Amino acid sequence: MKTATKTKFKQTELGMIPEDWEVSNLGEVADILAGFPFKGDKYSDKGIRVLRGENVSIGFLRWDTEKRWNHSLEGLDKYRLADSDIVVGMDGSRVGQNRAKIKNSDLPLLLAQRVARVRAKPPLDQGFLYYVIFSDKFFSHVEAVRTGTSVPHISSSQIGELKLTIPTPFEQHYISKILSDLDSKIELNQQMNNTLESMGRAIFKHWFVDFEFPNEKGKPYKTSGGAMTYNEELGREMPKGWELGTLGDLSELNPESWSETTAPKEINYVDLSNTKWGKIEQTQRYLWEDAPSRAQRVLRPGDTIIGTVRPGNGSFSLVGEKGLTGSTGFAVLRPHKETYEKYVYIVSTSAENIERLSHLADGAAYPAVRPDVVLATQTLLPPESLMQRFASVVNPIMIKIIYNDRESRTLDALRDVLLQKLMSGKIRVPTEVR
C-alpha cells in the first residue's frame, strides 16, 4: 500500500512554500512588452487588426469597436501577438481586471500602447502564467502599485514587480491542466447558451416579425393566408386583431428599491460592468453600509435589466436567481405576468432596440437614456393565448440558459478556490503522478 509523502516547506518572503518551489519577480520569468504608439489618424478599416485598451475586458476580448493598420509593418514584428499570449489593460477604472488570453481566431493582431503583452520564458509554463495573471494576487498587486486617481494606470515594469511562487515545471503544467479543464466546461456552457439564446430569438422572429406562428391547424399563419391588416404607425402589415403598444403595456419599470429601513444587512450586487450581452458574469457581496450608493434596485427572477448608461455596451440580462440587487444604472422591467417574461426580454434587448437606445443616449462624457425611454419601446401586442404558447416553447430554452449560468458560476468559484490553494502549495500534485 502506498503511503502519502508529506510535503516539506521552506520559509520565503511570500511565506511557507514547498521546498522544491522558487520565488521570483514576474519580470524575471516572463517577457512583458507594452504596445506600440500607433497614430489614431492612421487607422483604417482594412489591414491587420490592432488590439487597444478598449478591446480588453475581464477574461475576453471584445471587438464591437475595432481599428486596423494598413501601413508598413517595418519595425513592428515584436508587436505581433501570438496564440496564448496574455494581454493586460494598463489604464482605466478596471486596470488590473481587464486581462485576457489571445486565441488563434483573434490573429493576426498588433499590440497598441496602454496594453501589455505577457509571455512566459522557458521553463515557465504559459498556461500556468495565465492563472498567475488571473489570480487575486495579481489584482491586489496592481491595486497596490497603480498610479493616477482620475485615470488609474500601471507600467510594464510595475507589472513585472509581482512576486510569485514557481512550482516545478511538471506541477506548473498539472496546475494549468486542472484549472483549464474547469474553464473549458465554463466556456462550453457559454457556447451552449449562445446557441440556445439564438434559438429563442429565431423563434421570436419567426412568430412575431415574420408572423409565421402556428395557426389553429399548426400551419404557418401568414403563408397559409392568415388575415392581415395594415398599421399606419408601424408602416407595415400585422395580423388582424393584434395591437401596437409599448413594453409599458406588458411590464412595470423599476418596481422596487431598497431604503434604509427595508435593506438587508448584506446584498449581492449586480453592476453594469459585470453584466454583458445577456449574462451576469459575476456579482459582489457587500454589507449594506459598505455598498455602492447605486446599489438600490431590487431584482427578482424574471426581471429584465438593461444598462441605461452607454446602452450600446450591451449591459443587459434576464434575471434568473433570487437575492440580487442591481445598480440604479439599470432599467428594471418586471413583466405583469410570468407569461410575458421572455417576450419582454427579447423585445427590449433585440439588436435593433439596443441600437435605438444607443442613438437616443445623450451626454458626451456619460451618454445615457432615461429608464422611461426603455419602457416606451414599441412592440406588438399579440393575443394572450399566443403569448402563452410562445412562453411554453421558449421557457425551457431560457431555463436551460439560467441553469448553465448557475453551473458556470459554481465552477468559477471552485476554480478560484483551487487556484489559490494550488498556487500556494496547500494542495499539491500527488507524488505518484509526479
Question: Are 247 and 161 in a shared domain?
Answer: no
**54 found inside a domain:** yes
Same-domain check for residues 248 and 356 = yes
Cα→Cα distances 145→114, 134, 152, Å: 16, 17, 10
Domain end, chosen from 381, 411, 429, is at 381
Q: Is 256 exposed, middle or buried (0-12, 13-18, 19+ CB in 10 A)?
A: middle
Low-confidence ranges of the chain (pLDDT < 50): 1
Q: Are residues 375 and 275 in the same domain?
A: yes
| pLDDT attached to residue 192 | 97
What range does the domain containing 54 cover? 21-166
Measured between alpha carbons, how far is 412 from 151 in angstroms, rounded to an integer? 29
Whether residues 252 and 158 fall in one domain: no
Percent of the chain residues topping a pLDDT of 70: 98
Of 136, 166, 196, which residue sits at a domain end? 166
Residue at a domain's end among 381, 396, 412: 381
Q: What pLDDT digit, counting tens, does each position of 314-356 carry?
A: 999 999 999 999 999 999 999 999 999 999 999 999 999 999 9
Q: In this structure, are 250 and 160 located in the same domain?
A: no
| Same domain for 362 and 249 | yes
Question: How many domains would you assign to the chain?
Answer: 2
pLDDT for res 111: 98
State whether 376 and 247 are in the same domain. yes
226 is a domain residue:
no
Question: Which among 364, 353, 366, 355 is positioned nearest to 310, based on CA atoms?
Answer: 366
Please report, for the domain that includes residue 339, its CATH number: 3.90.220.20
Per-residue pLDDT at 1 = 44
- Decide: pTM greater than 0.75: yes
Does residue 88 belong to any structural domain of this protein? yes
- Same domain? 152 vs 39: yes
- Is residue 194 one of the residues assigned to a domain? no
- Is residue 417 one of the residues assigned to a domain? no
Same domain, 248 and 137: no
**Residue 353, domain member (yes or no):** yes
pLDDT, position 226 = 98
Same domain, 126 and 253: no
Output the pLDDT for position 431: 56
The verdict on 256 and 156 lying in the same domain is: no
249 and 151 share a domain?
no
In a domain, 185, yes or no: no
Does 391 reside within a domain? no
